[in-house]
Amino acid sequence: MMRFGRLLTVLLVLGIAAGCDDRREGQAIVATADERASQAAIDILAKGGSAVDAAIAAQLVLGLVEPQSSGIGGGAFLLNWDASAKKISAYDGRETAPAGVRPDLFLNEDGTPMDFMAAVVGGRSVGVPGVVAMLRLAHDAHGKLAWGELFRPAITLAREGFEISPRLAEALGNAPELLNNDETRSYLAMRDESLPAGWTPLPMGAIVKNEAYARTLEAIAERGPAGLSEGEVAQAIVDAVQGHPNAGTMTLADLAGYKALQRDAVCRPYRRFEVCGMPPPTSGGLTTLMILGMLEHFDLGALQPAGVTAVHLISEASALAFADRDRYMADADKVDVPVAGLLDRSYLASRAALINPGKASGPASAGVPPGAVHRAEGIDGARAGTSHLSIIDRDGNAVSMTSSIEGPFGAHIMAGGFFLNNELTDFSFTPAGSDGVPVANAVAPGKRPRSSMSPTIVLDEHGSLHAAVGSPGGSRIIGYVTETLIALMDWKMPMQAAINVPRFLNRNGPLELEENTPIVALQAPLEAMGHRVTVRPAISGLQGVERKDHGLTGGADPRREGKVLRLP
């Protein structure tokens, strides 16, 4: 049987969209990573719910049916567009480091960084979950239906059972560590005495029920975030974190003290549009806007979409932006991040001047934006988990939300029927450079690890909603989202076509081209320009919605299992 990822790549090359027909119209639209989550969101919208209401219902279902990617044991960033006020609100539900962490959290006794997976599996890597508190904060401001009503679809599905999807089955097959833990093994594996371990992951199509998750959701539906951060569920989280051989320090006080935050979105004009993203602690919004700020000096619209010149220019701008990201971006509540300097028009023009239109420059060095404090680069080892959803409701309000438990199945431990995140491994493993200069993204108590999540909202020249988009994919999220934005704004593609464009990106290393797609034909000419090119699978999972003159359209990435649904 053809593997799921390979099958989706074939569909992509053939131009078969997993999302929807862009010619159809609707008064509300949803794009999430799973059809069951999209259906839950549409049902909420049909009852008169807001985009935030629908996002909450969808996220609770995603945490059940896509447990490898996101859930209530992790965090999220959410952008909300209020159509009547013409205002974007940004909500930060990023996890925080427990009060008991030390700067050497991920260092061996000899001072060398731990092996990445040795750091991931267990309680050491678990940050204080933030998604539930963030969703409640957004609901208090923008919700229309009762909080508890939004939990019913996920609770029902958890009790009645859900089917293991092809992608979840593949993820289970790639995570043998899950068979080493009694709780994860009993949930997502079955007995097979012919194997040395005596267990094998559940296959595609198997039906799974999760009574523990249903009970946890009932507690949160009744008590709000306290249903997670206090009482039985909180104790289960602490026991799982502290009781693992690779233990962490999280306490009940850490859980009870978590605060979701409302922040100001970071926005910048690009062509005739205004592009808005999340500020730190994610690097996604800033880095995306920096890349676009450099590229506005080049006429990308006159170039062949995803042609050799366009790929070269975008790659060079991305390398320059990533050099600055790695040095300066972190939790701005704990360290100085020169946000205004990084987006300064003159600074970005000086960075764009470093781009040679006909030749690759090689690895980029960080610049010195206005207001910068000297920092050392850290070690970035994030994995490609995460999920994204985009929604427009009947009133024209929109949500772009990216959520994560970090890598597939987070820390590989469960509590209350859900997986706990491994987001602390998004911190730099080394707290300082070899010369003793501090790393901006070093571990510290109460600090939020740097993220790459890039939920994005685009406004048109009239200041009205144009699009909402985002993606999973670890630090590659930034490239996936930026490329899609360019396809929308410069190449005038509809959302599904923009999402379907073969992936290419540069994180200030090799220029990556998506395997088994036509873009691989650019390898030789790009190498002739001096690029170091690698060909690899793409792991994007873009979900986008867009307002066009004829109505609402959307797209779901055919590389994953996303689904676009409309309210007719």
Cα three-residue angle 34-37-43, rounded to 5 degrees: 140
Length of the chain: 568
SS3 of the chain: helix, strand, coil, percent, to 5: 35, 20, 45
Name the residue type at position 495: M
> What is the DSSP-derived secondary structure letter of residue 113?
B
For 188, 231, 250, 332, 463, the CA distances from 236, given in Å and listed in that order, are: 19, 9, 11, 31, 46
**Using an 8 Å Cβ cutoff, are 78 and 93 in contact?**
yes
Separation between Cα atoms, residue 95 and residue 70, nearest integer Å: 13
Strand partners, 457: 276, 468
β-partners of residue 107 are: 113
CB burial of residue 515 (10 Å; 0-12, 13-18, 19+): middle
Token look-up 């008590």 returns 223
For 330, the token pair is 């972190």
Left, alpha or beta for 111 (phi > 0: left; psi -120 to 50: alpha)?
Answer: left
In terms of Cα–Cα distance, which of 425, 429, 430 is closest to 404?
425
**Active-site hit among 216, 287, 386, 553:** 386
**Residue 208 CB-density burial (10 A; 0-12 exposed, 13-18 middle, 19+ buried):** middle
β-sheet with 387-392: strand ranges across = 261-263, 87-92, 75-82, 398-404, 387-392, 28-32, 563-567
Residue carrying structure tokens 């969808």: 58
- Examine residue 568 and say whether the peptide bond preceding it is cis (omega within 30 degrees of 0): no
386 is catalytic: yes
Enumerate the active-site residues.
386
